[in-house]
């Protein structure tokens, strides 16, 4: 089973920053998950929230600032991390990918596109991924964007994300919309939605099951026995603990 660092090693450095991804590599994760949005000048940048308030104390959205300015902002209370504040601005997708290894290291690029819209990050993201070859899986809660991605850049595996709540919540325990999408190679359910039956049905279709955001060692062991393929975690110690306690 693989362990991916959620937004990088987000307890060692601010989430989704160069420092967090450097720590994810140093803590020997099997891969990382990251979130992509577009800056004002149309450059894919790595950032999760709707606006910069929680992490940077700035009342603006990333879509309202240029990538070069986003790179220079400093987190609220950077001293809580043992990391260079200059490595904790909002990075471009390209910068992050270039510091991550190739080969088996799995990079889960999550396209943030909460609404049906034209100016989503999908096309620009596909272009960057084509230019920086790595081992990718592209995921989104938005099936329209997954379909768009597969038309622009077929061949990169896609993961269908789903959650028990939120605007694109799925309550059936089985992601029927994924069946209609080309290029789906995995489902990415919230951990609370997983059942052994779901894993079996996914595997029967040739799909992996990668869950988020799981920080609990016992649950990791149970799900591993059910055949889970990957865990996206906030806890950079979970993988080592899991392997140490694996019977």
Binding window for Mg ion (CB under 5 A); candidates: 24-32, 107-115, 130-138, 238-246: 107-115
- Cβ at position 69, least distance to Mg ion in Å: 23
Q: Give the span between the Cα atoms of 9 and 24, in whole angstroms.
A: 5
Q: Give the span between the Cα atoms of 140 and 123, in whole angstroms.
A: 14
- Cβ at position 94, least distance to ligand G3P in Å: 20
Task: Tell me if residue 211 falls in helix, strand or coil.
Answer: strand
Nearer to ligand G3P, 84 or 169 (CB): 169
Find all residues with CB under 8 Å of 235, minimum gap 6, and list them.
11, 215
Instruction: Give the phi and the psi of residue 232 in degrees, each rounded to 5.
Output: -100, 120
Q: Which of residues 10-49 bind Mg ion (CB under 5 A)?
A: 35
User: Going by DSSP bridges, is the β-strand pair 208-211/184-189 parallel, antiparallel, or unpaired?
Assistant: parallel
- Cβ at position 91, least distance to Mg ion in Å: 15
Question: What is the secondary structure of 92-125 as a DSSP string?
Answer: BHHHHHHHS--TT-EEEEEE---S--SS-SHHHH
Q: Residue 2, interface with ligand G3P (CB under 6 A)? A: no
Q: Which of 160, 162, 212, 242 binds ligand G3P (CB under 6 A)?
A: 212
Q: Residue 33, interface with ligand G3P (CB under 6 A)? A: yes
Instruction: Give the phi and the psi of residue 34 in degrees, each rounded to 5.
Output: -145, 160
- Cβ at position 48, least distance to ligand G3P in Å: 6
65 binds, among Mg ion, ligand G3P, none (CB under 5 to 8 A by kind): none
Q: Residue 15, interface with ligand G3P (CB under 6 A)? A: no
Q: Which of 110, 145, 229, 235 binds Mg ion (CB under 5 A)?
A: 110
**Residue whose C-alpha is closest to residue 247's, from 215, 208, 216, 220:** 220
Q: Residue 110, interface with ligand G3P (CB under 6 A)? A: yes
Tell me the per-residue interface mask from 134 to 173 with ligand G3P, x by CB under 6 A, - otherwise: -----x---------------------x------------
C-beta atoms surrounding 73 within 10 Å: 17
- Cβ at position 215, least distance to ligand G3P in Å: 12
Q: Give the span between the Cα atoms of 233 and 152, in whole angstroms.
A: 30
Q: Residue 232, interface with ligand G3P (CB under 6 A)? A: yes
Q: Give the span between the Cα atoms of 50 and 136, in whole angstroms.
A: 24
Contact residues toward ligand G3P (CB under 6 A) are 6, 33, 35, 48, 110, 139, 161, 188, 212-213, 232
Contact residues toward Mg ion (CB under 5 A) are 35, 110
């Amino acid at each position: 089973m693989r362990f991916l660092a959620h937004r990088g090693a987000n307890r060692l450095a601010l989430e989704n920053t160069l420092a967090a991804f450097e720590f994810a590599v140093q803590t020997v994760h099997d891969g990382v998950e990251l979130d992509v949005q577009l800056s004002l000048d149309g450059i894919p940048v790595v950032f999760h929230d709707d606006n910069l308030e929680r992490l940077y104390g700035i009342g603006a959205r990333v879509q309202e600032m240029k990538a070069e300015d986003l790179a220079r902002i400093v987190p609220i209370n950077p001293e809580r991390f043992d990391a260079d504040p200059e490595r904790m601005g909002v990075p471009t997708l390209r910068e992050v990918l270039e510091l991550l290894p190739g080969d088996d290291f799995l990079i889960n690029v999550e396209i943030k596109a909460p609404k049906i819209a034209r100016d989503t990050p999908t096309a620009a993201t596909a272009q960057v991924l084509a230019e920086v070859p790595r081992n990718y899986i592209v995921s989104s809660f938005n099936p329209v964007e997954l379909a768009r991605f597969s038309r622009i850049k077929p061949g990169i595996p896609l993961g269908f994300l789903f959650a028990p709540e939120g605007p694109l919540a799925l309550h059936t325990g089985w992601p029927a919309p994924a069946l209609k999408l080309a290029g789906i190679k995995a489902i990415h359910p919230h951990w609370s939605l997983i059942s052994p039956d779901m894993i079996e049905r996914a595997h029967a279709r040739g799909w992996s099951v990668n869950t988020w955001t799981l920080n609990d060692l016992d649950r990791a062991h149970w799900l591993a026995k059910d055949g889970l393929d990957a865990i996206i975690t906030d806890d950079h110690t979970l993988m080592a603990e899991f392997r140490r306690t694996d019977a």
